[in-house]
Amino acid sequence: MRKLYFYLLASALLSLVILGWLIDSFSQQALPVEDRFAWESKIAAGISAQLAKAPPPERQALAAQFATSFALDIALKGGNSLALPNELKTDILEPQGLILEDQVGYYLLKSVPALMPDYLELRLSKPDELFEDNDMLLTLMFYAGVCIFMWFILAPLAKRLTQLTNAAKAFASGDLSARIEVNHFTYIQDVELTFNRMANQIEKLLAENKLMASSLSHDIRTPVACLRFGVDAALDAEDFSAAKTYLERMERDLDQMEAMLKSYLSFATLEQKAQQLNFETTSLAPYLASVADQMLPKARERNITITTFCHQQVSISADLHWLARALGNLLSNACDFAQSQIQLSAVVRNKQVFIYVEDDGAGIAKENWSKVFNPFYQEQNHRNRAGQSYGLGLAIVAKVADWHHGAVEVCQSEVLHGAKFIFSFPLQPLRKL
């Protein structure tokens, strides 16, 4: 939104400066009175010079002749009739003469030293005042110009807001694929990115809820059927020992159902934890070593060696609890399928942290690489041999990566030839949109 504030302020200042300059230039087109009657001043100067050459008795007649010949309202008057201050009387000797205004209009007084104290009076026709008393016009022009400038700046904003509104309406109507095509020149890029991120999260949550509902309804059928069979068998049992055997089996089925429901409910409320992230800074190498140490009991139980490599002395900023849980899930997953070795390593490139978890197991089929991070997904082969697994461990890893504006992917290890998980995120946390 800072870009929007900047453009609004810049457009307001620019419009004030440009419009002020244009209106000032326009208003200055109203010429001074002297400039408007320049040619009349030259005629008066020429006639005054001619009258000065004539004998005084003939000057009145000559002035009348000039008035008739040139169709001018001109007359020669005596100096005693001129009621002006002395400082103004000298102005009639200037080349342009002295222009005065009365109720009728303007008149020009002109003389030359040889004609003094007499002077020539030329009545001037009052021109159309195109630029006088136009304060209201200039004010209207100024505000109209400001409106045009603001429209020019705000029109793209209105267009983007319209697109955002249409996308929101489409999304609310059920089109979960509705998104805003982000433009780097828009004023509300943060709003558009936030909308897209919100839409992605809502779409993901709805998909996960549907998947969880279908998976739960599918997975719970088996223990429920076992319970019903156990109840019927216990009721039909003829001795107590046989009934007790069925009851013990039913108890195991209930434990499985409880564990299943606990895992499902835990995953369903996982998204709420995204609003409670606590980013801390720590050194990368010791942190990875501590995460690997937490997995040592399980690794020793299976005679697996965990090796840690991180030669770069860098600090990371992340939610250390959830990051440790994600890496722990990857290491625990590797312990379930590794034969003897697990390698945990990290490298920093282009301000991104890449953490690798590799094992020497059989790996994951390539066609399943894009599926293993889906909630409740389990390979129907050797990799699902863990005791109580509901396909949520890697889904939690994917969520933690998303919370850190990162990503997680899987491929085949070039070193150990098993599965290789790559968990990446920015070295410094991104600004929350």
How do the pLDDT tens digits run along the chain, 433 residues long? 566 666 667 777 777 777 777 666 665 554 455 556 778 888 888 888 888 888 888 888 888 888 888 888 888 888 777 777 777 778 888 888 888 877 777 888 888 888 888 888 888 876 555 444 566 677 777 777 777 777 877 787 788 888 889 989 988 888 888 888 877 777 777 888 888 888 887 887 777 677 667 666 666 777 788 788 888 888 887 778 888 887 888 888 788 777 777 767 777 766 666 667 889 999 999 999 999 999 998 999 999 999 999 888 899 999 999 999 999 999 999 998 899 999 999 999 989 999 999 999 988 888 888 888 887 776 655 444 445 556 778 888 998 998 898 999 999 999 899 999 999 999 887 655 4
Q: What is the pLDDT of residue 433?
A: 43
Structure tokens belonging to residue 279 = 């980013």
What is the rounded distance in angstroms from the CA atom of residue 308 to the CA atom of residue 313?
A: 14
What is the rounded distance in angstroms from the CA atom of residue 194 to the CA atom of residue 182?
A: 11
Q: What is the pLDDT of residue 383?
A: 45
Nearest to residue 115, comparing CAs of 77, 88, 83? Answer: 77
Within its chain, how far is the Cα of 338 from the centroid? 47
What is the rounded distance in angstroms from the CA atom of residue 377 to the CA atom of residue 140?
A: 69
Q: What is the pLDDT of residue 431?
A: 54
Structure tokens belonging to residue 426 = 């920015």
Q: Pairing mode, if any, of strands 74-77 and 119-124?
A: antiparallel
Q: What is the pLDDT of residue 23?
A: 67
Q: What is the pLDDT of residue 130?
A: 45
- Contact call for residues 323 and 357 (beta carbons, < 8 A): no
Q: What is the pLDDT of residue 418?
A: 92
- Three-state secondary-structure class, residue 107: strand
Q: What is the pLDDT of residue 13?
A: 75
Structure tokens belonging to residue 71 = 């169709």
The 10 Å CB-count burial string (b at 16+, else e) for 68-83 is: eeeebebbbbeeeebe
